[in-house]
């Protein structure tokens, strides 16, 4: 059966109330200083940056967000029996919350639903860490070793997990249909995956509000709202129609 690889970016989650970081109304455009809160060197060196980072996460939308129609459509495609793998640039966990098995989701940039110790690498839930912040710990240390805790996301200045990246590359090369949805296809290394998929014979579909550098390679580009456009495309794929 046709292996469908889906590369998802921030645009798939905006309908769930999670802002696009780099778009016209994105967080980095509105408050460039906020980028320091998720930059590894700043975070590790400055307790005040860490305190502000924890407060940002307390008021963030990710933990309260729910999957939208686009996430549910991806899970429905997998349930239909079509082999599906998701490679996501997002850290919100909404593909899994929609019902897609976790083993079929590769999180290139980690997850905001967990925290990790920078010293002993112990992990715990973000909800538990934020409860400690709520209780008065402005910069909660690791309960196991006292090290600095951080979100289990890949911060600016950190490398992507080489194993996750290798798996993403293997899935991309094996895919017969590659759908890039809600991503500008400008942030590397994820941006290169669309071109690699085409080089290895996949049919490329781009679902995004704005043009991307890889549109010329796509069999079809879809500019409609993702919440309706992606489900319609995936229904065609599931039905075996000529897409």
- Asked if pLDDT for residue 29 goes beyond 60, the answer is no
Q: Which residue has the tokens 């996460």?
A: 57
Q: What is the pLDDT of residues 172-194, one digit of tens each?
A: 999 999 999 999 998 888 889 99
| Token pair belonging to 61 | 């939308």
- 3-state SS, residue 72: helix
Q: At 242, is the pLDDT very low, low, confident or very high (cuts 50, 70, 90)?
A: very low
* C-beta neighbour count of 102 within 10 angstroms: 9
Dump strand ranges (E) for 93-240. Answer: 105-107, 110-117, 123-125, 149-153, 177-181, 203-207, 220-222
Please check whether residues 138 and 175 belong to one and the same domain: no
Domain identity same for 42 and 6: no
Reply yes or no on whether the pLDDT at 233 is more than 60: yes
Same domain, 29 and 12: no
**Which tokens hold the place of 47?**
């307790």
Question: What pLDDT score was predicted for residue 23?
Answer: 53
The verdict on 81 and 105 lying in the same domain is yes
Residue 80 and residue 103 share a domain: yes
Instruction: Using a cut of 0.95, tell me whether the model's pTM lies above it.
Output: no
Long-range contacts, 144-148 (Cβ 8 Å, 24+): 144/117, 144/120, 145/117, 145/119, 145/120, 146/119, 147/117, 147/118, 147/119, 147/120, 148/44, 148/50, 148/117, 148/118, 148/119
Residues in the chain, overall count:
243
**Please, which pLDDT band fits residue 60 given cuts at 50, 70 and 90?**
confident
What mean pLDDT value characterizes the chain? Answer: 92
Domain extent for 89: 1-18+68-109+160-243
> Are 173 and 237 in the same domain?
yes
What is the number of structural domains in the chain?
2
In the chain, % helix, strand, coil (3-state, to 5) comes to: 40, 20, 40
pLDDT of residue 211: 93
The sign of the torsion formed by the CA atoms of 117, 167, 105, 91 equals positive
The whole-number pLDDT of residue 61 equals: 74
126 and 222 together in one domain: no
Residues 134 and 207 in one domain: no
pLDDT of residue 241: 45
Q: Say what the pLDDT of residue 21 is.
A: 60
Residue 123 has pLDDT above 50, yes or no: yes
CATH number for the domain harbouring residue 27:
3.30.1600.10
95 part of the active site: no
Specify whether 232 is located in the same domain as 218.
yes
> What DSSP line would sit under 105-121, residue for residue?
EEETTEEEEEEEETTT-
pLDDT in tens, 127-145: 999 999 999 999 999 999 9
Q: Of 71, 109, 200, 214, which is the active-site residue?
A: 109
């Amino acid at each position: 059966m046709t292996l469908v690889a889906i590369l998802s970016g921030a645009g798939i989650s905006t309908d769930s109330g999670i802002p696009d970081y780099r778009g016209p109304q994105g967080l980095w455009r509105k408050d460039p200083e906020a980028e320091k809160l998720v930059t590894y060197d700043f975070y590790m060196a400055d307790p005040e940056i860490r305190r502000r980072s924890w407060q940002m996460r307390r008021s963030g939308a990710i933990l309260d967000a729910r999957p939208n129609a686009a996430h549910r459509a991806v899970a429905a495609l997998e349930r239909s029996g079509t082999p599906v793998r998701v490679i996501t640039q997002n850290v919100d966990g909404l593909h899994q919350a929609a019902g897609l098995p976790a083993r079929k989701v590769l999180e290139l940039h980690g997850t905001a639903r967990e925290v990790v110790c920078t010293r002993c690498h112990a992990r715990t839930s973000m909800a538990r860490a934020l409860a400690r912040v709520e209780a008065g710990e402005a910069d909660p240390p690791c309960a196991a070793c006292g090290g600095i805790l951080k979100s289990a996301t890949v911060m600016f200045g950190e490398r992507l997990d080489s194993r996750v990246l290798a798996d993403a590359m293997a899935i991309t090369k094996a895919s017969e249909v590659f759908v890039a949805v809600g991503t500008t296809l400008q942030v590397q290394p994820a941006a290169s995956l669309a071109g690699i998929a085409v080089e290895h014979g996949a049919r490329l579909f781009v679902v995004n509000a704005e043009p991307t550098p890889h549109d010329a390679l796509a069999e079809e580009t879809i500019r409609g709202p993702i919440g309706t456009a992606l489900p319609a495309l995936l229904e065609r794929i599931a039905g075996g129609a000529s897409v």
